[in-house]
Structure 1
């Protein structure tokens, strides 16, 4: 993607709007109640837009299209799962969670089970999941900025984390709510408009080189003479004997001219190698992706292991949403349980609308930027597609719009993650004052930035999928059983979190080792939720049945408060003495958030 005045202008406008809206809203944030839950007065429509804004992360804006480009039909489970997770959240969790009166996820754990020790363990889990989720957002920010400006990848990550930290420290949840609601509509515009324009060009004549088809069983081909520079070490495969020019290192040896690849074995390409292909040459693809359009269009085409991995992904996405701290904290900002459920319905509509567009862009990318299948950098498809379809200034304008939307995606997701994790740290590890919230924000911001510099960049959606698996294997059993099963005990909840989370972390560690050794990873370590989630539920149930003494004495009162209709007035906010009572509702507007 070329550096153009359009792109720089778009990024500058997004950064300015983000800072201005956050600064303007932060002037009304004066208490910890403002910083943690925005006074619990956010109306449903604004809260839904804010939730959608923070949830539509780099995995949604860049990763979904990249995964569709690479994996085809199998990748469509990502947008389906991302959206369907809110259906489970609406049916089983949203309203009871708000009625608990908690401020954070660990606060709910203590309110339901009465265990300080379990609350501390939940605090560690929430912080870990939040930071783990934030790392790919920063990696994607580095990727995007590196595609636009000739700067190191870490510069984009640093810019995002600094801008987000300033907003969060200034106004907490009260400031971030307005910013994220604005950024949802900005992201929807930034992906919908290019999709409509590019589809019109495709149906009108196909852009440069004419109309291209995805229905042919053959692999995609280079539409013109193409030079590709590989940025990271990759292993690729070809379907036919392929001739090309190479300068660098391929197949563990130097290359400086004509080269030939055989379809019988995979081939290695070292970082920094330049490959030149003639027009019409079948595109080599990274070794774990379908090589032909026929395989790309059919789901689970590689046998039972692919099918099991798909079901495992569905498990992770469907149940993992309710275990993400930055998602759950949003429901504490609603006035009551009914508003929380209504918010979730709005979120389903907003997410379903958005995910139509990256899926379409992924399909177009396979026709117009197939070289990304060789480099493995498929997450850049959304950024490179506009100029590939529309050369000249029209494509540059569309590319600037998509770059601005991607930048907004990083900002909004990191904002939600940072405010949720900082809230947990400030209330559980620090005294809980406004000053402590700001200190926690600074400390939390440093951790994902450091991890971004240490870990290697993977496909964004794949790394996000592992985070969903961890959330589904730890907090999902605790929330579902805690809300709907009165016999849950704190030792049972702890056992489920340890076993489920341990399985996912073990799989993650094994995958990292395999990346360096080159060993093939089995499906149950790539997507472990199909095993880890049932194991966590089973462990929670069995241990809870064996440890009746770990159940709270007033469990009937607690369950009544979670499930009683809102008009009965049984809902009570926790820790009011510690955090301070919100201003009178006559001043803020009952159930509304007019000025935040």
Structure 2
């Protein structure tokens, strides 16, 4: 991809975000403007803004990368990300808006009349938000590096600067307009190129990757970022630059025999077109033998369990994501919150039809990315591989712009929600000035983690954030809204047990504490057992402490469930 096209796309998206955000700055004056846009955002605009911030790096790049590496089992991410808003519509959206809260900790304290519940909720909001922000900044660096050759850290720093400026300047009102614009940009950025990619695939004879090992559709250079062992299924003639099987070569033509060959870090092998893609013994395999089975096609040694873990985390995690929940507080009333959720379901349903198409095409035209751990770049590289020339570079630049919009929109929503919590519960004062100062740690801490070298596939990292959110806030919101016998000790115990266990599992997965078998599966996809644990502990402890039911529970429940006019 031409660096000049990619740079131009990034600059245009960044300037558009700053320009649109400045329009909100003109009318952002009060604390309510900064926290919840004075609760005046109508359903269509709010639905587009929620969809814009929800379609993150995991959606724009990560789903296609997971489909490339693991096959059709990863389509559950698309289903789960969308269906999570159906759960929100049925159980949470309208009552949460009627609560009158600004943040999740606000709701927790108002419902349970306990400061301790608020403090613990604040800790989990910040932790989930930071965990979700890291892959956005990481993927921004990957995108800019792939598109322009810039150092890997530049993209994350650029996103942090643009987001920090927009959030500090205009708060929620500014970000609402920016995120709505970004949704339509991201939809266009995926839709237009995939039409041309599908036409190119059809003109190429509609090759398939559903039987046997895939082949390189074009001459392809495979670069080993780390030590790599490859098993070649056939003899092949390659051009080697680096160390192969312990011997150094400099652009030498080698005839490699079938079997296992080792590559040192930095080594590149140029494979000819139609050569079969080798199997990596050190990275996830790109085999397609299980492509047709959604439940068997998941990753790891226990794919059925992994699939259930993905489904449960994505179905229930959306209601615990701070940047999603806070947007419902911006609706004028409970009915508008429900209408907003319906709009979101339609917009997300349209968007999530597209990333799997890129993943399927990547299994044919970019299978080498699964060998080098660079699968998240598949979306960005497909136009160059299928189309090439100026047309391929222009389509690639459109995808770069869409990807950068994904990082900006999601990071903006997270920064707003985190700044709101930090300014209310951490900083000594509350107000516009405190909100602006809180923007610094909100975006600065995850940027430091990114620059410090934290590396995980973006969709995997976001999936872990969903698991923590589902295990901590899903029980708190569902029981807090629908069960009047919930007590502060029960809420505290449930959030700590469910969310705490999920957080331990997340950390263990990130540091690679367990490498395989059931222990790895249980830690990598913890929602299957941590969500029930959170609900169970919350119910049992509440039943054991009936005298701790808050005195104002009846009035609070009436406010949550009665229409606004009747609840006053």
Give the TM-score of the pair, scaled to structure 1: 0.90
What is the match of residue 563 of structure 1?
561
The separation in 1 between residues aligned to 2:483 and 2:255, in whole angstroms, is 64
Deviation at 1:99, TM superposition (A): 0.4
Task: Say which of 538, 542, 545 aligns to 2:543.
Answer: 545
Indicate if the aligned counterparts of 1:239 and 1:291 stay in contact, CA closer than 8 A: no
Deviating more after overlay: 284-293 vs 127-136: 284-293
Deviation at 1:499, TM superposition (A): 1.2
What is the match of residue 460 of structure 2?
462
Taking structure 1 as reference, are residues 518 and 556 closer, same or farther at Cα in structure 2, changes over 3 Å only? Answer: closer
Deviating more after overlay: 218-227 vs 230-239: 230-239
The separation in 2 between residues aligned to 1:233 and 1:461, in whole angstroms, is 24
1:319 aligns with 2:316: yes
Deviating more after overlay: 517-526 vs 121-130: 517-526
Task: Say which of 389, 392, 398 aligns to 1:392.
Answer: 389
Deviation at 1:164, TM superposition (A): 0.5
What is the match of residue 333 of structure 1?
330
**3-state DSSP class of the match of 2:535?**
helix
What is the match of residue 208 of structure 2?
213
**3-state DSSP class of the match of 2:270?**
strand
Deviation at 1:78, TM superposition (A): 0.6
What is the match of residue 79 of structure 2?
80
Task: Describe the superposition over 1:457-512 as per-residue Cα deviations: whole angstroms up to 9, x where unpaired.
Answer: 22110111101000001111000011011111111111111111222222223223
The separation in 2 between residues aligned to 1:426 and 1:544, in whole angstroms, is 31
What is the match of residue 2 of structure 2?
2
What is the match of residue 185 of structure 2?
186
What is the match of residue 69 of structure 1?
68
1:525 aligns with 2:523: yes
Deviating more after overlay: 300-309 vs 354-363: 300-309
Deviation at 1:294, TM superposition (A): 2.8
1:281 aligns with 2:279: no
Deviation at 1:254, TM superposition (A): 5.2
1:490 aligns with 2:488: yes
Task: Say which of 338, 344, 347 aligns to 1:350.
Answer: 347
Taking structure 1 as reference, are residues 434 and 276 closer, same or farther at Cα in structure 2, changes over 3 Å only? Answer: same
Task: Say which of 411, 416, 425 aligns to 1:419.
Answer: 416
- Return 5+ residue gaps in structure 1 as ranges: 571-596
What is the match of residue 589 of structure 1?
none
**3-state DSSP class of the match of 1:281?**
coil
Deviation at 1:67, TM superposition (A): 1.0
1:53-452, aligned counterparts within 5 Å? 53-203=52-202, 205-206=203-204, 210-215=205-210, 217-232=211-226, 244=238, 246-249=240-243, 253=246, 255-256=248-249, 258=254, 269-286=263-280, 289-299=284-294, 300-301=296-297, 305-430=302-427, 431-452=429-450
Deviating more after overlay: 499-508 vs 478-487: 499-508
User: Runs (4+) of structure 1 moved beyond 6 Å?
Assistant: 517-521
The separation in 2 between residues aligned to 1:124 and 1:198, in whole angstroms, is 45
Taking structure 1 as reference, are residues 480 and 202 closer, same or farther at Cα in structure 2, changes over 3 Å only? Answer: same
Deviation at 1:555, TM superposition (A): 0.8
Task: Describe the superposition over 1:75-128 as per-residue Cα deviations: whole angstroms up to 9, x where unpaired.
Answer: 100110000000000100000000000010000000000110110111011011
Deviating more after overlay: 360-369 vs 519-528: 519-528
Taking structure 1 as reference, are residues 539 and 239 closer, same or farther at Cα in structure 2, changes over 3 Å only? Answer: farther
Indicate if the aligned counterparts of 2:168 and 2:439 stay in contact, CA closer than 8 A: yes
The separation in 1 between residues aligned to 2:533 and 2:258, in whole angstroms, is 44
Deviation at 1:211, TM superposition (A): 3.6
Task: Say which of 532, 535, 548 aligns to 2:533.
Answer: 535
The separation in 2 between residues aligned to 1:292 and 1:64, in whole angstroms, is 17
Task: Describe the superposition over 1:493-535 as per-residue Cα deviations: whole angstroms up to 9, x where unpaired.
Answer: 11111111222222223223327x9667621111111011111
Aligned residues: 560
Task: Describe the superposition over 1:233-281 as per-residue Cα deviations: whole angstroms up to 9, x where unpaired.
Answer: 5566555677755444567x55536485766x7x765432212323332
**3-state DSSP class of the match of 1:356?**
coil
Taking structure 1 as reference, are residues 43 and 540 closer, same or farther at Cα in structure 2, changes over 3 Å only? Answer: same
**3-state DSSP class of the match of 2:3?**
coil
The separation in 1 between residues aligned to 2:323 and 2:406, in whole angstroms, is 15
- Return 5+ residue gaps in structure 2 as ranges: none
1:506 aligns with 2:500: no
Instruction: Give the alignment's Cα RMSD to 1 decimal.
Output: 2.1
Deviation at 1:333, TM superposition (A): 0.2
